[in-house]
Structure 1
Amino acid sequence: MHDPATLLATIDARIERACSIATRERRDVTLIAISKTHPAGAIAPLLEAGQRAFGENRVQEAQGKWPGLREQWPDVQLHLVGQLQSNKAEDAVALFDAIHSLDRPGLVTALARAMDKAGRRVPCFVQVDIGAEAQKGGCPVAELPALVAAARDAGIPLAGLMCVPPFGIEPTPFFALLDKLAGDHGLDGRSMGMSGDFETAIMLGATHVRVGTALFGQRD
């Protein structure tokens, strides 16, 4: 098992190489270390190695482990990458620096209200159900224009679009579609690509890649 600093350097080198092939700048791709289910003790070595963007799936889990870590590393950027219940909107706005799972009108309303109350605007990615999978979260492609417009009308800062392609299928066409949709809606960010396919995602325009297993190992 490699130490966290070595794993981080390896992933960073792969991102650098993918950016080079795609004639992109390394600084234009943010590596989000997906720390969901991993304890603070497993996260600290990556923080010590210089990683500053982390992703969590659940508000409650993040509330339990990040306040202490942030005291020591106050420049951490925390991303919510999992589904968000409307009744957790206030907690999410208070804790996270970006939300990647805005996927329905009801959540637009809840987040706008929470941001107004907190006096804090948290950038959001609209999650797109890119593979038309009923069991996954995400806004259907056909409903995306209306949801983007609703979020803008509500004063929610939109960072871009996010997707999780169907498992076990070549992801390239799904990444290409998300890239096109983001461009069509005038959005800069593309949150796409995970441990097994982040290099492909970078070739197709990813600005944020969400890597967990390749940095932390398999989850229990």
Structure 2
Amino acid sequence: MSLDRIRRSIAEAARAAGRDPADITLVAVSKMQPESRVLPVLEAGQRVFGENRVQEAQSRWGVLAPRFPGTELHIIGPLQTNKARAAMEIAHAIHSLDRPRLAETLARLAQELGRCPELFVQVNTGEEPQKAGVLPAETDGFVARCRDLDLPVVGLMCIPPAEEDPPPHFDMLREMAARNGLAGLSMGMSGDFEAAIARGATHVRVGSAIFGARD
């Protein structure tokens, strides 16, 4: 199974970096994957999954999560403010906190619901105009604003530009997280998670390398 191979690769990358493999969370990105591919991964013991769309996550995990105790859902895609309540009700973590209005909405909902998932601030390290995320120069101020709102920000997330070498982006994210006293680093995907682990990733988001290419 591809899951076993990914787990071995994560462990090897961690040990090569002098890290404990247990400190790295594998987020299996199940977005747009059929249940026929997701079920074997659940049955093999994987319990942390990433979804892009809240509605898809609700329909899938509302059924599957009760069958597999301990399942955690992480929202990893762009989050619309009108989907924030639903996301907070089902997610253990949100990796895409990327703008003041969303932060304010989450803070208000956290007061109403009495709980809030762990939050990662998404940083647009490549400053790509078409991509979500806080610009690097604005990250410190945005993290401070989230803390003023009592939001449980645990780390930073990035998606490096497809045409650029990922490690410099991982280094940038690590430096920003350290400067802000944040331990979490959500970075690294199917093609580059080993390089991300070498640079301190605590959460790697792996989809196609586990499930195969989406149809």
The alignment's TM-score, normalised by the length of structure 1, stands at: 0.96
State the alpha-carbon separation in 2 of the partners of residues 46 and 19 from structure 1: 22
Query: Tell me, which stretches of 5 or more residues in structure 1 are unaligned?
Result: 1-5
Amino acid at match of 2:53: R
Counterpart of 2:107? 112
State the alpha-carbon separation in 2 of the partners of residues 165 and 205 from structure 1: 15
Are 2:45 and 1:71 equivalent residues in the alignment? no
Given that residues 40 and 66 in structure 1 are in contact (C-alpha distance below 8 angstroms), is that contact kept between their aligned partners in structure 2? Answer: no
Pairwise mapping of residues 33-112 of structure 1 onto structure 2 (< 5 A)? 33-112=28-107
Amino acid at match of 1:172: P
Note the alpha carbon deviations across 1:29-76, whole angstroms, 9 max, x for none: 000000000133321110100101000001011011111101101310
2:188 aligned to 193, 199, 209, which one?
A: 193
Are 2:48 and 1:20 equivalent residues in the alignment? no
Amino acid at match of 1:213: S
State the alpha-carbon separation in 2 of the partners of residues 40 and 119 from structure 1: 32
Amino acid at match of 1:63: Q
State the alpha-carbon separation in 1 of the partners of residues 137 and 184 from structure 2: 20
1:168 Cα offset (Å): 2.2
State the alpha-carbon separation in 1 of the partners of residues 62 and 107 from structure 2: 24
1:150 Cα offset (Å): 1.2
Note the alpha carbon deviations across 1:128-153, whole angstroms, 9 max, x for none: 00001010000011111121011111
Are 2:212 and 1:217 equivalent residues in the alignment? yes
State the alpha-carbon separation in 2 of the partners of residues 184 and 203 from structure 1: 19
Given that residues 123 and 159 in structure 1 are in contact (C-alpha distance below 8 angstroms), is that contact kept between their aligned partners in structure 2? Answer: yes
2:135 aligned to 115, 119, 140, which one?
A: 140
| Number of residue pairs aligned between Structure 1 and Structure 2 | 215
State the alpha-carbon separation in 2 of the partners of residues 76 and 99 from structure 1: 15
114-123 or 154-163, larger mean C-alpha shift: 114-123
State the alpha-carbon separation in 2 of the partners of residues 39 and 62 from structure 1: 12
State the alpha-carbon separation in 2 of the partners of residues 218 and 204 from structure 1: 26
State the alpha-carbon separation in 1 of the partners of residues 5 and 37 from structure 2: 18
Given that residues 39 and 65 in structure 1 are in contact (C-alpha distance below 8 angstroms), is that contact kept between their aligned partners in structure 2? Answer: no
Identity, in percent, stands at 51
Given that residues 192 and 208 in structure 1 are in contact (C-alpha distance below 8 angstroms), is that contact kept between their aligned partners in structure 2? Answer: yes
State the alpha-carbon separation in 1 of the partners of residues 182 and 151 from structure 2: 13
Amino acid at match of 1:47: L
Are 2:151 and 1:156 equivalent residues in the alignment? yes
Amino acid at match of 2:47: R
Are 2:118 and 1:123 equivalent residues in the alignment? yes
1:155 Cα offset (Å): 1.2
State the alpha-carbon separation in 2 of the partners of residues 80 and 93 from structure 1: 9
Query: Tell me, which stretches of 5 or more residues in structure 2 are unaligned?
Result: none
Amino acid at match of 2:8: A
Given that residues 81 and 101 in structure 1 are in contact (C-alpha distance below 8 angstroms), is that contact kept between their aligned partners in structure 2? Answer: yes
Counterpart of 2:5? 10
Amino acid at match of 1:180: E
Aligned partner of residue 49 in structure 2, secondary structure: strand
State the alpha-carbon separation in 2 of the partners of residues 81 and 105 from structure 1: 18
